[in-house]
Amino acid sequence: MNPRATLVLLVITLLVLGGLFYLRQTVAPTRDQAELERYAAVFDPEEITQIELTRGGEKITLRRENIEWRLEAPAADRADAEAVDRLLMAARFLEVRDREAAKDPASMPESGLATPRVRLDLSGKNNIRIDLGSNTALPAQIFARVAGQPYILRVPDTIVELATAPAGSFRDPRLTSLVADDIEKFTVRRADGEMTLRRERGRWMIEKPVRAPADPRAVSAFLEPLLGLRITTFQSSPAGPDTPGTLAGQTAAISMTPRGGGENLDLEITRGSNAAAENVTARFAPRGGALTVDAAALTLFDVSPESLRDRSLGYVDADTVDRIVIETRGDKLVLRRADDGWSAAEAGRTFTAGQVNNLIDAFNKTRIASFRATMPPGEAGLEPPAGRLAFYAWLTENTAEEAAGGHPIASVDLGEPEADGNIFARGGSEDEIVTIPAALEGVLKEFTDSTPPASNGGSAPPENQSNADSR
């Protein structure tokens, strides 16, 4: 092919490509054009980074920060993502019922678009302005106009309710977006005292007023309703986070520290004379100002260290147990693993794995009924104890971590019965007297009944056992 023909073909190709590029930039594709004919404005809601609603002298400004929306005016606060999404979806699918060519709204004074009742500005990849005007003669329709389009539109009036909603409706009604797993520490303060809980190595521990393990389920059940409180009313303009609490009435407060650090979440509530009130006045520092929240906040007045304490005696994994010592009223039984079951050689008895698993299950399921921190052990029948249950792991040789011999897993000492049918006990990691249901003592008697006293006393298993009987 000669060079002139090649040059001509190259020029034609460039002209075709340039024409296609121009048409792509200036003429909407068929599908987009069809959408433009059906809807007032076509845009991707995910590309919108700011929304402004102008309603007379009032302006509401919402801005997207990363994946969250924030209200910037008339108040600085976290925005309700659902309310923002509803508004964006209503604008995106604002269906056109009719069009009338009119570049100047003044030519149609009945449209109310010369001074629109609502102006909606959407900023992002493309900026879009939608003006909402008066009601048309047809029911459930209003006049509207999109900047840059030479039409006055008739559209459904469903968007009006969303676009004219009170500014407060765009504020997130959730007190926080956090859950119980996001909290590292919290302190409850009331007129009757102070209570502090903190995570230690993944476990909740009570620090004040008593040092004790906490039940993670009870802690979550307490924190979740507080973190998920619904704000029913924003009573005043937001104040700064350092505004001191000035709520009148009987007050309670909680200060929560998020995991990983950050600003403390300080919630203060007040309880009035009407105990049956469904709403509670509150102040929450990160949101500022006075709020009205639902009555779940009143749990701050009811929570106590006892309600959050771990009520288990401990937990035993059946696969880790090699020895079990049972004592009741002077009788003692030492159980060792033997083949597929368990043997009490000194008593000449054997037990099935099922029987021992039932004992372990009974221990794991026993829950403390009450705590008696000030009770003398002698009055509870615990000096010496009337009974004892202890679980041991047994190593036959030294390892890098632990020496050979018995290693306690969990234990409980049993005392005398109380008037309500429970029995006094002392066990777990805390040397504190508690009461537990008598059912556990009954399970122990199933093992020791009709068993002669064992030959060696004391509560610890014998140290000099052969490797053969250690499992």
Domain ranges for the chain: 30-170, 180-308, 318-469
**Other Cβ atoms within 10 Å of 156 Cβ, number:** 16
Average pLDDT of every residue of the chain: 83
Which CATH topology does 30-170 take?
Immunoglobulin-like (2.60.40)
Q: What is the DSSP letter of 401?
A: S
Q: If pLDDT is split at 50, 70 and 90, which confidence band does 116 have?
A: very high
The pLDDT tens digits for 427-468 are 755 678 999 999 998 888 888 875 544 444 444 444 444 333
Residue 379 has φ and ψ, to the nearest 5°, of -65, -25
Asked if pLDDT for residue 288 goes beyond 60, the answer is: yes
Give strand pairing partners of 252. Answer: 269
Phi-psi sector, 75: left (phi>0), alpha (psi -120 to 50), beta: beta
**The pLDDT of residue 108:** 86
Tokens of 212: 């004790």
Q: Which residue has the higher pLDDT, 317 or 396?
A: 317
Of residues 374 and 244, the one with the higher pLDDT is 374
Per-residue confidence band for 1, with pLDDT thresholds at 50, 70 and 90: low
Report the predicted TM-score, pTM, of the whole model to 2 decimal places.
Answer: 0.68
DSSP state of 230: B
pLDDT recorded at residue 400: 54
Residue type at 52 in one-letter notation: E
* Rounded Cα–Cα distance for residues 406 and 470 (Å): 10
CATH class held by domain 318-469 = mainly beta
Per CATH, 30-170 and 318-469 having the same topology is answered yes
Burial (0-12, 13-18, 19+ Cβ within 10 Å), 41: buried
Q: What is the pLDDT of residues 417-426, one digit of tens each?
A: 998 889 999 9
C-alpha dihedral sign at 363, 368, 369, 370: positive
Q: Tell me, what's the pLDDT at 248?
A: 53
Q: What is the DSSP string of 260-283?
A: T----EEEEEEE-S-TT-SEEEEE
> Percentage of the chain surpassing pLDDT 90?
47
- Residue 105: Cβ within 10 Å count: 18
Q: Which two tokens stand for residue 390?
A: 């202890």
H/E segment holding residue 359: helix 353-365
CA-angle at 55, arms to 49 and 57, nearest 5°: 110
Residue 165 — pLDDT band, cuts 50, 70, 90?
Answer: very high
